[in-house]
Structure 1
Amino acid sequence: MSLDGYGNIAFLDDNGKRLNLIDNYHKNELMNIEVAEKPPKDEDYDPYMHRKVEHPISNTDTIIHLLKSSFGTGILAIPKAFYHAGWLLGSISTVVLGLVAIYCIQILLKVHYELCKRNKVPCMDYPNIMSNALLEGPKWLHRFAPYIVHVTNFFILVYQLGICCVYIVFIGDNIKSIVDHFTQSNTDVRIYMLMVLLPIIFINWVRNLKYLAPFSTIANAITILSFVIICYFMFREPISLEGRRPVGPISEFPLFFGTVLFSMEAIGVIMPLENEMKTPKSFVGLTGVLNRAFAIIVIMYIGMGLFGYLKYGDAVEASITLNLETNSDIDVILAQSVKGMLAFGIFITHGVACYVAIDLTWNKYVVNIITNDRYKLLWEYVVRTVLVLITFLLAVAIPKLDLFISLFGAFCLSMLGLAFPALIETCVFLKEKTGVARATMIAKNAIIGFFGLCALIIGTSTSVLAIIDSFAQE
């Protein structure tokens, strides 16, 4: 899910002061929020009280959506990530990364509420939060407000296209595994990616997501069934630590980091979910919906990563579905069924994931330059097709599922999930805090921001070098 209206910012006069703030919220299939008129200046404005959501969701629904957004191709790659980090370091690091991720999301939500309250609007999207946060910060940052919108949109777009690349590789890998098993062939995985290209283009031509809803429901059901079968394969024999390294090489840790960050971060759905909640105040807090959902997510990730790696050891594949044994007829049926079901589920999900990239590209950067309304629909289909082709070409060029996940996790989410939240909190609350509280906030956010930048540089470079090495070994 995503909010439309990317990149709306405040306008500045020649002295850098804010002239006005208008959020151009749009109604679409995923979100329907009415923007209430601004109250008088002397009113204690509560953004939560001014949100009018057509179909608000409950706390339970919110937890389910958060869990669904975190249990996809990423969690299937976690055992490979534990191979890079080691079972002990991987378990500890997953907890630490989970705590850091949830803390940064809490920061983002706190700043979102504060900015909405100051500007008297019910809600904002991520690029809007970034631009207005800079306007609240030191004066020298004001000039960057219009540009940070496009920077944020860039990372969001790359992240969403990266997800789509991962989906195409996942579908190709699993179809190849099924066909290779029954035909004893060894066809290049790119052939299977090419076979599904046309159906993927067609599913992304669906302009109204409600038509995909029945298929998404089926995909969710078979995903749950698939995970049950995977657990059966993992736990049907005793688990042993023999031959399993507790700590992996430090040079491989960035691959673990990128994979876990890519898989665990739900930054793309956090704001839309909070904006659609019936009781948004219960989203944050120590025992809030967000913390409860992430506690389940971290436990599930540790379980899948730890026991998946202990089960298959050094032979663990980029997706654990490729490790499922076929020692008997029932094993063959179960293993190939899991691959087929998940390939179908991810195929359906591709249309939902790519919708965010299409929505951003079309509504923010393309539609306004089309002067002839007669050809707008045609150009929209062109944009949809081009974006799918971009993800396809990247997947064909680098058909490495685990390295793709690590690359996009390190490159995009180190900024969206770590560095940016630290920056916006500093900007928004810098003038309010004094003394020790101010110094503590600056120091804390400087550490988080530095960690995010290091993760961006080291994680991305490590993934790129690993991709180069993988081609050199072929």
Structure 2
Amino acid sequence: MTGQTSALQALMHLLKSYIGSGILAMPKAFSYSGIIIGCIGTPVIGLLCHTCIHMLIDINEYLCQKLSLQPMDYEELAEKVFENGPDRLQKFSKAFRIVVTSFLFVAQMGFCTTYYVFIASNIKQFSESVSTNGWSCVSIEYYLLIVLPFLVLISFIKNIKHLSIASMFGNVLQLVSFVIIIYNLVSQMDNISDTVLVSDKVPQFFSTTMFTYEGITVTMGLYRSMKNRRNFDKPCGVINNAIAIVIVFYVTVGLLGYLKYGDQVAGSITLSLPKKPIYESVQLMYSIAIFISYPIQLYVAINILWPLIYTKLHERKVSSCIIDVCNYGFRTCLVLLTYALAALIPKLDLILSLIGAISCSTVAIMIPPILHTMIFYELKKETLSRLWLCIRNAFIFLFGLLGFCIGTYFSLKDIIESIDISDVDNC
């Protein structure tokens, strides 16, 4: 679908996708970096991601004009770039599309896994706060199991339009919860926790912040659906306004949350709130809102793989009834996969960091400059223009690659240490 979304609607969709559950992890990110690196690094990473989004839009506009096509999604765009790039690389177009599709799928499944752990963690803490029947002894794995059938059922909704009313309700819950969280962060600021200016966990900061900024899949979809696409990437357009607002919110929440709760802040700020009814209600409201958002995130992952499966089934002339059964089975398998990942790593901060390092840095920072260079290098006639293009894009790529390697190493290291500690505690 194209030509349906106004600039204001696109801005609201972008803000909702960025300022969702990810912003709740910013205080934890600041605890990894310290105040100075957090306040500087958050805008820098945001601007780099923002630059890469502009790269993809520029590529989309150029190829659409050259090939007389409609705006393309990310994986199709990657394939077209290789098909129209240097002769030696054209044969890799299908392979690179598979690479991009794989990373997008991993990222979406990571988001769904994060949502799963978020729901279970907040329900667990809410139950422990309001119950007097020994719920504090129940591990998070049981909460993951309790939530599982509900997530399977809600994933069976094939048309996400049927979730529109529920999604609006979830948006209201998120907004109310967010206001309460901000109230908590700005109240009694004289009780500032122990904080540091510069911390020694910068790789984890990069990975966590990358997770919160990764919105390329949403951005490209919105660009395709715009009534007037010029309003999307002009100087005071949708994407520039959105990233400016997001950076301000991320730095504000990250800094205030870190100042309030220090190094002890949880992976989600909701888990660090005081045990009072108003804050306990935030945990419940956010859990409901994220539960409603789970099938929407899963819908993106389904759309990445299901068309391929459907094509194979259709070629074999499988009946529509069997195809429907396979569709529901496929959806169930995806939910079970997120359950398995969540049960394996039931700590929100560790999942955020790992997904941010592996998938988000690749999709949001490393791939766009590769595609941009392949398309626009030959179009730059002046030597200085070519040199600037190569230097800028190489810097962005290497920044993403460094974050990918170091972030993945330290994220896996933290996960292994966490599992070892859990084994010792169980003994």
TM over 0.5: yes
Whole-angstrom CA distance in 2 between matches of 1:286 and 1:240: 41
Per-residue CA deviation, residues 287-331 of structure 1 (Å, 9 max, x unaligned), is 2211111100000000110000000012211111111112xxxxx
Counterpart secondary structure, 1:93: helix
Matched with 2:158 is 207
Residue from 379, 393, 402 that aligns with 1:432 = 379
Q: Deviations over 1:216-264 (max 9, x none)?
A: 0000001000001111111111256662101101xx1111111111112
**Is 1:264 aligned to 2:210, yes or no?**
no
Structure 2 CA distance, aligned partners of 1:257 and 1:240? 28
Q: Does 1:255 align with 2:199?
A: no
For the Cα contact (< 8 Å) 1:75–1:301, is it kept in 2? yes
Deviation at 1:432, TM superposition (A): 1.1
Match 2:112 to one of 139, 158, 164: 164
Asked if the contact 2:313/2:323 (under 8 Å) is kept, the reply is: no
Could you tell me which of 127, 132, 145 is aligned with 1:194?
Answer: 145
Partner Cα separation in structure 2 for residue 427 and residue 373 of structure 1: 44
- Report the CA distance between 1:366 and its aligned residue: 4.5
2:193 and 2:260 in contact (8 A); partners too: no
How far has the Cα of 1:365 moved from its partner? 3.8
1:217 is matched with which residue? Answer: 168
Partner of 1:65: 13
Residue number in structure 1 paired with 2:425? none
1:103-252 matches, cutoff 5 A: 103-181=51-129, 182-183=131-132, 184=134, 185-239=136-190, 243-249=194-200, 252=201
Q: Distance in 2 between matches of 1:449 and 1:64?
A: 30
Are residues 472 and 213 of structure 1, via their aligned partners in 2, closer, same or farther at CA, if it must alter by over 3 Å?
same
Q: 2:263, 2:280 → 1: CA distance? A: 22
d(CA) in 2 for partners of 1:197, 1:363: 25
Residue segments in structure 2 that go unaligned for 5+ positions in a row: 423-427
Which residue of 386, 399, 411 corresponds with 1:463?
411
Q: What letter matches 1:416 in structure 2? A: V
The AA in structure 2 aligned to 1:156 is L
Q: How far, CA to CA, are the matches of 1:117 and 1:364 in structure 2?
A: 28
The whole-number CA distance in structure 2 between the counterparts of 1:463 and 1:271 is 28
Matches of 2:194 and 2:347, distance apart in 1 = 26
Instruction: Give the counterpart of 1:85 among 33, 43, 68.
Output: 33
Q: What's the counterpart of residue 373 of structure 1? A: 319
Hey, what does 1:392 align to over in structure 2?
Answer: 339
1:137 Cα shift?
A: 2.2
Correspondence for 1:401: 348
Contact conserved, 1:423 with 1:445, CA < 8 A, in 2? yes
- Match in the other structure for 1:343: 287
CA distance in 1, matches of 2:313, 2:354: 33
What's 1:297 paired with? 246
RMSD: 1.3
The residue aligned with 1:274 is 223
> Is this contact kept in 1: 2:193–2:262, CA < 8 A?
no
The Cα shift of 1:333 comes to: 1.4
**TM-score under structure 2 normalisation?**
0.95
**Amino acid aligned to 1:150:** I
Report the 3-state secondary structure (helix = DSSP H, G, I; strand = E; otherwise coil) of the residue aligned with 1:473: helix
Is the 1:180–1:187 Cα contact (8 Å) retained in structure 2? Answer: no
Q: Cα gap change, 1:97/1:240 in structure 2, threshold over 3 Å: closer, same or farther? A: farther
> What residue in structure 2 maps to residue 99 of structure 1?
47
Distance 1:274 1:457, change over 3 A: same
8 Å Cα contact 1:422-1:449 kept in structure 2: yes
- Match of 2:286, as an amino acid? L
Q: Which of 413, 420, 433 pairs up with 2:360?
A: 413
Confirm whether residue 355 of structure 1 aligns to residue 299 of structure 2: yes
Q: Distance in 2 between matches of 1:246 and 1:325?
A: 25
Q: Distance in 2 between matches of 1:158 and 1:265?
A: 13
Shift of 1:136: 2.5
Corresponding residue pairs, total:
415
In structure 2, what residue type is equivalent to 1:273? L
Distance 1:102 1:239 in 2: 36
8 Å contact from structure 2 (residues 6, 228) kept in 1 = yes
SS at match of 2:137: coil
CA distance in 2, matches of 1:64, 1:353: 17
Contact 1:239–1:311 (CA under 8 A) maintained in structure 2: no
Distance 2:186 2:103 in 1: 39
SS of match in other structure, 1:227? helix
State the AA in 1 paired with 2:304: L
Give the match's secondary structure for 1:428. Answer: helix
Mapped to 2, the partners of 1:384 and 1:256 lie a distance apart of 33
SS at match of 1:467: helix
Identity of aligned residues (%): 36
Distance of 1:99 and 1:359 partners within structure 2: 29
1:8 aligns to what? none
Report the equivalent of 2:263: 314
Query: Which blocks of at least 5 consecutive residues in structure 1 are unaligned?
Result: 1-31, 34-52, 327-331
- 1:424, distance to aligned residue in structure 2 (A): 0.8
Q: Which deviations, in whole Å up to 9, do the C-alpha atoms of 1:182-222 show, x marking residues without a partner?
A: 23523100101100100000000011112111100000001
Report the Cα distance in structure 1 between the residues aligned to 2:78 and 2:5, rounded to whole angstroms.
26
The change in CA–CA distance for 1:240 and 1:433 in structure 2 (over 3 A counts) is farther
Runs of 4+ in 1 over 6 A off after TM superposition: none
3-state secondary structure, aligned to 2:401: helix
- With 266-275 and 386-395 compared, the bigger mean Cα shift is at 266-275
Given that 1:239 and 1:307 are in contact with CA atoms closer than 8 Å, whether structure 2 keeps it comes out as: no
Task: Give the C-alpha shift of residue 286 in structure 1.
Answer: 2.3
Matches within 5 A, 1:24-43: 32-33=1-2
Aligned-partner Cα distance in 1 for 2:371–2:158:
34
Residue 378 of structure 2 aligns with an amino acid whose one-letter code is K
Q: Give the whole-Å Cα distance in 2 for the aligned partners of 1:368 and 1:242.
A: 58
Structure 1 position 381, deviation (Å)? 0.6
